[in-house]
Amino acid sequence: MRKILLLISLAKRGALGKMTPVTVRELAGELGTSPQTVLRLLREMEKEGLLRRESRGKRTLVEVTAEGARFLEELCEEITEAISGGVIIGEVVSGLGEGAYYVKLYAPLIREYLGFDPYPGTLNVRVLFPKTVFDALCNVRPVILPGFVKDGRTFGDVKAYRVRIDGVEGAIVIPSRTVHPPKIAEVIAPINLRERLGLKDGDRVRLEVVRE
């Protein structure tokens, strides 16, 4: 782990493919270890071909090699795959009280396109991970609930993303004219999620995105 952290620190200092002056004491402070340990790690990583090192007087210059850069790239890909598996972690919050009205309006479309009769209301979840709702759903194809006109008023398209919460199937809905910031996920389901799951404001929840 310390080798990985040291390699990341060197890359952040501009050492990717370029000899860069470093201070062993500063690197030791970043890693929370001793300068002697940092020197040992540098020697080991040099033998492994992850970096090149030169001493010029009292200065130490280090370059992260192409092999070291590839190692970081592969690590980044593995981390991205591990944390972008369609999971949203958030906490329950109160909505604006308009969810029931819009769910009733779109209920026939929800039934037709998503296959369930929605409970007239939404569960509002403030997203804690990832940064926004859109970050979690960017690689998922939504189900489009088409807009319509009712009593002379136009209601826009709604994007619906199937999710699962504690084994209950539902969907995150994002209206084309949403008033919610991207940190809030509105979840519809065939049941009252607050009652069924015993949820109250501030409770943590985990949403699993169901990929079509």
Can you give the CATH number for the domain in which 21 is found? 1.10.10.10
pLDDT at 84: 63
The answer to whether 92 and 157 are in contact (CB under 8 A) is no
The domain spanning residue 187 has which CATH number?
A: 2.40.30.30
| Prior bond of 190 cis (ω within 30°) | no
**pLDDT category, 212, cuts 50, 70, 90?**
low
**Both structure tokens of 69:** 């850069």
195 and 177 together in one domain: yes
Same-domain status, 34 and 78: yes
Do 128 and 202 have their domain in common?
Answer: yes
Query: In this model, does residue 85 exceed pLDDT 70?
Result: no
Give dist(CA 191, CA 149) in Å, integer.
27
pLDDT of residue 172: 96
Question: Residue 9 is part of which domain span?
Answer: 2-82
Residues 96 and 181 in one domain: yes
pLDDT tens per residue, range 40-84:
999 999 999 999 998 877 778 999 999 999 999 998 878 776 666
Task: Please state the domain count of the chain.
Answer: 2
66 and 10 in a common domain: yes
Of the candidates 82, 112, 132, which is a domain's last residue?
82
What DSSP letter does each residue of 53-106 carry, written as one string?
Answer: EEEETTEEEEEE-HHHHHHHHHHHHHHHHHH-SSEEEEEEE---S-HHHHHHHH
Give the model's pLDDT for residue 124: 95
pLDDT score, position 98 = 79
DSSP 139-161: TSPPEEE--EEETTEEE--EEEE
- Is residue 181 very low, low, confident or very high in pLDDT (cuts 50, 70, 90)? low
* Model confidence pLDDT, tens digit, residues 87-142: 899 999 997 777 889 999 999 999 999 999 999 999 999 999 888 888 778 778 89
